Structure 1
């Protein structure tokens, strides 16, 4: 017995130290738990993300994780672009989200986010039809500009005048939450104001945080915690209660609002008018289960991509002032052509059509999403046995987790300078066009048949917000403030993004004042 133990641990000691140790009975759980605990307790250290990155790189980009004996914690983790292409496109039918995914995200169970097969096809077609309304993008583009001009810029000006330090993550999150709610319900909840009213946005954050722990816990454990209403499951239950109440309130306001001459284009109105047999609201204002899940998943989809991208984008811009100057150089001719007053007090907002040709601004966004993807993990389940391009044998029922965070840090894809924030990597040599990067190498907007339906909408929204803020203000990080990702399925910031805002001195026709 002692000899066998000595041989076992001697063999383990010769393995790559960057890989988690596979212990008897408990598998790799101790190493994973230690890295998670380190991330929670060690301020300023991205220990969990470094642990995962190092492990995947050391394993050749695909790692088979073994959990405790008799648990459901046996799965693959991969960041290999060829594996992703195989699962997302070439053999898509064999790799659905799976029942486990729907259980983890039970708040939106039944929506397009968690569905597979024919149900998914129908719900995706329904969402595609809703987002393709000709009047929708025109309405939203106008609403984005109005919201930035009337709410966001005055708040930033107030912070600049008073010298108040602000949490840019919270501020931008509120902005995007209001915009997403307007898309879904046709109602602005007004959470972006000086008095900072309560918002349901933290409840949506809780869904993603608890989903992270459900991914890495044995299902029996988190289900027991849910039954006992303790730990993260108690936090999720409260979040679900708040979201449910918010949805009911927004449905009522949608019903009570004044109707103009044009038909409403918000998603709630579209769904209940065009799919009344499936997505309906009863006389008391209660949505059926499918409509409820559809509305919440639409809020998450509309908020998370933009709401998590913007803070990290401004973080990268604050650390790279030469990129800010380059953006302003691109915006200067537009400002000069449209500005009516040649003074430093003019607050400029750029229309969607004005920022559409700015490929450099798009490259700035993609480069930030590469390093800090909005969604950190994707999950697939195998229906039948298969062999991945990496050579790993997959059995029916196996779960595969895809790390978007590590995908953005592969030198085989992005070069030896993958750690640098360099928007130019996305541009042609003369900077006039974006280089093609296949979605299986850059998964921020998903890939294959599940490609994000709102991709162009999100890009336009981000460009509108960034252009206005960068042109009118200088954003400086508060010295000593630790910026790091939270443990979540989405790229939330653990401590927010504390910044100082300063009004930028400029003249609308002075392209030399760009510092």
Structure 2
């Protein structure tokens, strides 16, 4: 019996090892075959692998996410179903189909709230306007939106932005020109918009856009936040939550950014409270309008968000406005001037229009232009809209239906299934913008009467047109 055991045990072990090797070789063969098939067909569509789904293709193209999405959507006819790993809830539909986008953002809007999934990814925004649904949205409509649309805010906006252009942006650019040194325009625009939005919503100018270009932790925290939030769209929720718990990777920098925002905003609020307490004796005098004071008066105990903490709700509101004002405008300006550098003939036309319609001669000292004067610059407006079409500051948005739905494209959407709307891809679709969709042509926005064409919101989101006007 002992001899029998010693003879059969190695055979069983060899059989087990042999079977494992066969399975491994089979999986390797399938992997190589699928990989070679992709190369032979030169397809942009990612392979749907067993267990891991299309995650490998997504990670392989993480450095060019928007271009990858555009290639896949174009090859799929406008809408693509992305399959995630079987162990993660990552299945999603990615679309740049105008009919689908119109359905989600307009016709069936009530079925597509921000929802809990959105709040999970953008938890750093708290109860701010970007995370708002139902009752929370109603609070922001009565306060945030009301203040932004107020005449006093519009006047403050013009005054603050021009002051920063004159004393900050032009001063730095003149020095750089005099010294004949290179400068990162994106960094300057981010500093410009950061200072401007802080002045608007916090009544405080951090002066990050000055000749010595100081390091301001809060200003740099926005970049870390953007990168981390983008990666949360790519990685399985369990993975980025694990990174957050371990405080590694981009989640580590997101946590640091959140603390930096808190410190900066709460310090500004404290300074404002102290300033208000000192000026209480002069109540009879008319106070100058500022957003922070208006928010502090509006956010009483009844307006304290979901958390019930008035201080946190004020912080969330301000941070949302800072992100909106800093990132969208700086991104739009950066791409706009990059496109002008690539298309000097457009720059010549813009300068000629300014010279003709605003009576500004070359070499003449800059002067303040109000909104009404800027409306005369139709070609400049068209160039801005064209830049926003090709490089939208809000490149994608994700939604999830409260109830199952069927999109106009015929795709069935389950309850709470993630849908990604790719505005970046939409601006690059021949079916929408024609064969010259990748070209920078401001004239496509100018009507035969010489005015600006207003494209439907499902073809060119209204947000983009508003940014172009600003």
TM-score with structure 1 setting the length:
0.78
Which residue of 2 is the match for residue 289 of structure 1?
Answer: 312
Which residue of 2 is the match for residue 434 of structure 1?
Answer: 452
Mapped partners of 1:366, 1:353: distance in 2:
18
Which residue of 1 is the match for residue 235 of structure 2?
Answer: 217
Mapped partners of 1:146, 1:257: distance in 2:
23
Q: 1:417 aligns with which of 414, 417, 436?
A: 436
Per-residue deviation at 1:344? 3.3
RMSD: 2.6
Mapped partners of 1:71, 1:365: distance in 2:
40
Q: Which runs of 5+ in 1 are unaligned?
A: 40-46, 281-285, 447-454, 462-515
Which residue of 1 is the match for residue 19 of structure 2?
Answer: none
Whether 1:347 aligns to 2:371 is: no
Q: What is the count of residue pairs matched by the alignment? A: 433
Which residue of 2 is the match for residue 400 of structure 1?
Answer: 419
Per-residue deviation at 1:268? 1.9
Secondary structure of the structure 2 residue equivalent to 1:445: helix
Kindly indicate whether the alpha-carbon contact (under 8 Å) linking 1:186 and 1:265 is maintained by their aligned counterparts in 2: no
Mapped partners of 1:415, 1:408: distance in 2:
10
Cα-to-partner distance string for 1:352-389 (whole Å, 9 max, x where unaligned): 33212222211111110111110111010111111100
The one of the two structures with greater contact order (alpha-carbon pairs below 8 A, sep at least 6) is 1
Kindly indicate whether the alpha-carbon contact (under 8 Å) linking 2:34 and 2:47 is maintained by their aligned counterparts in 1: no
Secondary structure of the structure 2 residue equivalent to 1:254: helix
Which residue of 2 is the match for residue 377 of structure 1?
Answer: 396
Mapped partners of 1:91, 1:335: distance in 2:
44
Per-residue deviation at 1:31? 0.9
Kindly indicate whether the alpha-carbon contact (under 8 Å) linking 2:139 and 2:303 is maintained by their aligned counterparts in 1: no
Higher helix share: 2
Q: 2:133 aligns with which of 109, 116, 122?
A: 116
Which residue of 1 is the match for residue 3 of structure 2?
Answer: none
Per-residue deviation at 1:205? 2.0
Kindly indicate whether the alpha-carbon contact (under 8 Å) linking 2:59 and 2:234 is maintained by their aligned counterparts in 1: no
Q: 1:308 aligns with which of 324, 328, 331?
A: 331
Mapped partners of 1:459, 1:420: distance in 2:
18
Kindly indicate whether the alpha-carbon contact (under 8 Å) linking 2:172 and 2:211 is maintained by their aligned counterparts in 1: yes
Kindly indicate whether the alpha-carbon contact (under 8 Å) linking 2:88 and 2:236 is maintained by their aligned counterparts in 1: yes
**Larger radius of gyration, structure 1 or 2?**
2
Mapped partners of 1:175, 1:119: distance in 2:
31
Per-residue deviation at 1:410? 0.8
Secondary structure of the structure 2 residue equivalent to 1:63: strand
Kindly indicate whether the alpha-carbon contact (under 8 Å) linking 1:56 and 1:79 is maintained by their aligned counterparts in 2: yes
Mapped partners of 1:51, 1:124: distance in 2:
36
Per-residue deviation at 1:459? 4.3
TM-score with structure 2 setting the length:
0.86
Which residue of 2 is the match for residue 23 of structure 1?
Answer: 49
**Alignment map for 1:147-166 (pairs within 5 Å):** 147-166=164-183
Whether 1:325 aligns to 2:343 is: no
